[in-house]
Structure 1
Amino acid sequence: MPDQTPHSAAGHFGTAGMRRLSLSNLGSAVPADARAVLEQVGVPVVVAPYFAAAGETDGLTLGLYAGHHGLRCDESQAHWVRVGADRLAHMAVSADGMVYAVFLDRTEPGMFVNSDVSVFRSCCLFDLEWCPSNGSLDRVIAAGAGHGNRASW
């Protein structure tokens, strides 16, 4: 990647502000393009108060993370890559490359967040650049998606 132009998120958050995930030896089920984004650019380490990236020692899949923390994980989601969490759900990339908010150890179904990890990362950057207070992402999403003054996730 040295000969490529850095992604705008990497430019904004800096190298230390992006968490890259090493997935090459992992039995995860994510498409090659999602894998490349996660390995080469990553996701922001923190977008307060909405998102914190998976820790360096966290299990990379939902199943591994859940097992390490004594939580239940739906077997159909066990191989999804866990990229981080907000204060309620775990953000994970599914086998089809979409990003979902998953509620481990609960009966509620996961909720669609973004069509792919690049869009998710861009939304994180958008919130910081467009809404410097970091307090308006819910209102922005609700206004655009019609979810009654709350974020869709």
Structure 2
Amino acid sequence: MNPVEHLQQVLHHDIPLTADMQMQVLSWEAHALRLRLPLEPNVNHKNTMFGGSLYCGAVLVGWGWLYLSLRDAGIEDGHIVIQEGQISYPQAVRGAGIAHCEMPEAAVWQRFITTYQRRGRARITLQTRISNEGSDEDAVRFSGQYVLHR
């Protein structure tokens, strides 16, 4: 099974809210993950995307990025949790939202892996964002600290 299909199954099975949100894994290419959140199941009273859904999308694209990156690195014995997050909403999402997460600097990633292998616990901060579908402008910016532990 390819990584996109695998992550889609993991999200819908292990985090059932993602199925209710109709979250879709779009792509996993060059260590970058993209998820799609449709407006209809995530709409608010202003006919824009609900802030809670946007927060979930921003957190989960980071979680998914870390899950797939660890899997690619051959590490499948840990549990990923979000420890802390900060979000800003510079624009409304008026249709579907596309959540993005890209690889941090190589030195940061390597330090995270090394720390986990030595101590069985490591933290990494990931920057994620959400744009309106069809735009590359940030509608949401998120910085999250994720913890991996055995």
TM-score by length of 2: 0.27
Select the structure that is richer in strand: 2
